[in-house]
């Protein structure tokens, strides 16, 4: 771990009002804390409850992200479809290599079927959303391991 990484961690702590953070590399341990001595006391409860969620998400994400790579996120609000029609096979499957211009799914918004492109070259590691599920702007749809 170098100074740049430490700086980034400190920045994160500041952004999310963490009071403690610790880490062990081999075997991977991790602990985050937002102590009552710190931010919780004085922050507005609303942002706090929000921050709590964010924190949880951050922890979960970090644990998952570390080995797993990048995300393809939804560019719009709509309904997610993995395949062009109910009967056809999905655009992409786990393990598949996609190119930036490859369509990975459809987001239906206002009766319009929007083809979503990968925008990144890589190997699909996971599909995070079920077919027919509503998604919001910025929601992760696929995990992808970037190639090159």
Is residue 45 a contact residue for a second copy (CB under 8 A)?
Answer: no
Q: What's the closest the beta carbon of residue 72 comes to another protein, in angstroms?
A: 16
Q: Does 43 bind a second copy (CB under 8 A)?
A: yes
Coil, strand or helix at 109: strand
Is residue 124 within 8 A of residue 98, CB to CB? The reply is yes
Could you give the CA distance from residue 89 to residue 34 in angstroms, rounded to a whole number? 46
CA distance linking residue 17 with residue 77, whole number of Å: 30
First CA to last CA across the chain, in angstroms?
Answer: 23
- Selected range binding a second copy among 7-15, 54-62, 76-84, 136-144, rule: CB under 8 A: 7-15
Report in angstroms how near the CB of residue 84 gets to another protein at its nearest: 19
Look at residue 99 and give the partner it binds from another protein, a second copy, none, a contact being a CB closer than 5 to 8 Å depending on partner kind: none
Per CB under 8 A, which region of 1-9, 62-70, 117-125, 133-141 contacts another protein?
133-141
Interaction pattern, residues 2-41, with another protein; x per rule: CB under 8 A: ----------------------------------x---xx
The rounded distance, in Å, linking the Cα atoms of 100 and 5 is 29
């Amino acid at each position: 771990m170098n100074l740049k990484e430490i700086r980034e961690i400190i920045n994160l702590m500041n952004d999310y009002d963490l009071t403690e953070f610790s880490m062990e590399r081999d075997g991977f341990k991790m602990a985050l804390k937002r102590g009552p001595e710190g931010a919780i006391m004085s922050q507005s409860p609303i942002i706090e409850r929000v921050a709590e969620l964010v924190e949880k998400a951050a922890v979960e994400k970090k644990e998952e992200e570390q080995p797993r790579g990048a995300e393809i996120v939804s560019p719009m609000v709509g309904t997610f479809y993995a395949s062009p029609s109910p009967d056809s096979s999905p655009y992409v499957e786990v393990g598949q290599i996609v190119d930036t211009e490859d369509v990975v799914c459809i987001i239906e918004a206002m009766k319009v079927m929007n083809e979503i492109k990968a925008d990144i070259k890589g190997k699909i590691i996971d599909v995070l959303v079920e077919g027919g599920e509503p998604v919001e702007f910025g929601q992760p749809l696929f995990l992808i391991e970037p190639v090159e």
